[in-house]
Structure 1
Amino acid sequence: VEDSDDDNKQQSNNIVPNTLEQLDAYREYEQQQLASIKLLTKDEMLNIEQWLLDLDKVYEALRYQMS
Structure 2
Amino acid sequence: MEKEFICYEFVNSQTGNVIAYLSLKAGLSKEDQHQQLEKKKASLAISNKIYIALIFWQEQGHGIRLP
Shared fold per TM-score greater than 0.5 = no
Structure ranking higher in strand proportion: 2
- Normalised TM-score (structure 2): 0.32
Larger Rg: 1
Structure ranking higher in helix proportion: 1
- Normalised TM-score (structure 1): 0.32
